[in-house]
């Protein structure tokens, strides 16, 4: 008899379902504080359905998208658990959607951050217009990567490419 979708899963069931060894799941619990299965007497773990979705997202980022553990930790911290869960379903535009929604929420007159993201050096841009914002560059890169993935998969580039993709590539 199969369990319902809302049922809790043991570590063995999650390991088998997601093809992730048990020791890796225990390791990920240490590295990703957002992953907290219930622990019963004797230390037996029970994973909620949202825990399983989070594990799928972490696995996708680490294995499919080649992120480091620190990179996934940063995404979880800055973007949240829901984004990682969306990435589990193969929604590569989830990060782009967050970047563009954050962009709209930010006011153009907002004071610039004193901390530079990722220790980036000062921009050498000396043209008449303002240099592109860091999130614009990331959004353009993600859309270009999505277009490349679609091209490699044999899909039509015009059907998948976002409207701003050609403008982003012309900046270079």
Check which CATH number belongs to the domain holding 20 and give it: 1.10.1660.10
Assign 152 a pLDDT band (cuts: 50, 70, 90).
confident
Residue 39 forms beta bridges with which residues? 45
Q: CA-to-CA distance for 142 and 140, rounded, in angstroms?
A: 5
Q: What residue numbers bound the domain in which 19 lies? A: 7-89
Q: What percent of the chain has pLDDT over 90?
A: 35
Residues 63 and 100 grouped into a single domain: no
Residues 96 and 74 grouped into a single domain: no
Tokens of 56: 């799928």
The pLDDT score that the predictor gives to residue 95 is 58
Q: Over the stretch 99-129, which tens digit does the pLDDT of each residue have?
A: 444 444 443 444 444 343 444 433 344 444 4
Residues 12 and 69 grouped into a single domain: yes
Q: CA-to-CA distance for 90 and 135, rounded, in angstroms?
A: 22
Contact between 50 and 42 under an 8 Å Cβ cutoff? The reply is no
Assign 1 a pLDDT band (cuts: 50, 70, 90).
low
| 29 backbone dihedrals φ, ψ, rounded to 5° | -60, -35
Residue 76 has pLDDT above 70, yes or no: yes
Please list, in sequence order, all residues whose beta carbon lies within 8 angstroms of the beta carbon of residue 17, skipping any fewer than 6 positions away: 9, 52
Residue predicted with more confidence, 83 or 97: 83
Residue 97 has pLDDT above 80, yes or no: no
In a domain, 113, yes or no: no
Pairing of strands 9-10, 38-39: unpaired
Tokens of 97: 């959607």
Q: CA-to-CA distance for 67 and 58, rounded, in angstroms?
A: 9
Residues 33 and 84 grouped into a single domain: yes
- pTM reported for the whole predicted model: 0.54
Residue from 60, 61, 59, 45 nearest 13 by CA: 45
Q: Over the stretch 3-33, which tens digit does the pLDDT of each residue have?
A: 777 889 999 999 999 999 999 999 999 999 9
Residue 38 has pLDDT above 50, yes or no: yes
Contact between 103 and 136 under an 8 Å Cβ cutoff? The reply is yes
Q: What is the SS3 assignment for 42?
A: helix
The pLDDT score that the predictor gives to residue 114 is 38
Residue 41 has pLDDT above 80, yes or no: yes
Q: CA-to-CA distance for 37 and 72, rounded, in angstroms?
A: 19
**Which of residues 89, 123, 146 is at a domain's end?**
89
Residues 78 and 66 grouped into a single domain: yes
Q: What is the SS3 assignment for 10?
A: strand
Domain count, the chain: 2
Residues 76 and 135 grouped into a single domain: no
In a domain, 55, yes or no: yes
| 12 backbone dihedrals φ, ψ, rounded to 5° | -65, -45
Query: What average pLDDT score do residues 72-85 get?
Result: 91
């Amino acid at each position: 008899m199969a369990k319902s979708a809302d049922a809790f899963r043991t570590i063995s069931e999650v390991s088998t379902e997601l093809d992730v060894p048990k020791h890796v799941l225990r390791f990920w619990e240490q590295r990703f504080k957002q992953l907290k299965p219930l622990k019963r007497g004797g230390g037996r773990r029970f994973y909620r359905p949202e825990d399983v979705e989070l594990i799928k997202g972490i696995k996708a980022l680490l294995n499919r998208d080649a992120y480091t553990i620190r990179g996934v930790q940063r995404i979880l911290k800055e973007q949240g658990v829901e984004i990682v869960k969306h990435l589990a379903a193969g929604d590569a535009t989830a990060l782009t959607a967050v970047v563009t929604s954050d962009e709209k929420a930010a006011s153009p007159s907002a004071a610039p951050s004193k901390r530079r993201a990722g220790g980036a050096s000062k921009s050498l841009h000396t043209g008449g217009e303002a240099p592109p914002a860091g999130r614009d560059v990331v959004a353009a890169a993600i859309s270009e990567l999505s277009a490349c993935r679609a091209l490699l998969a044999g899909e039509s580039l015009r059907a998948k490419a976002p409207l701003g993709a050609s403008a982003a590539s012309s900046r270079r």
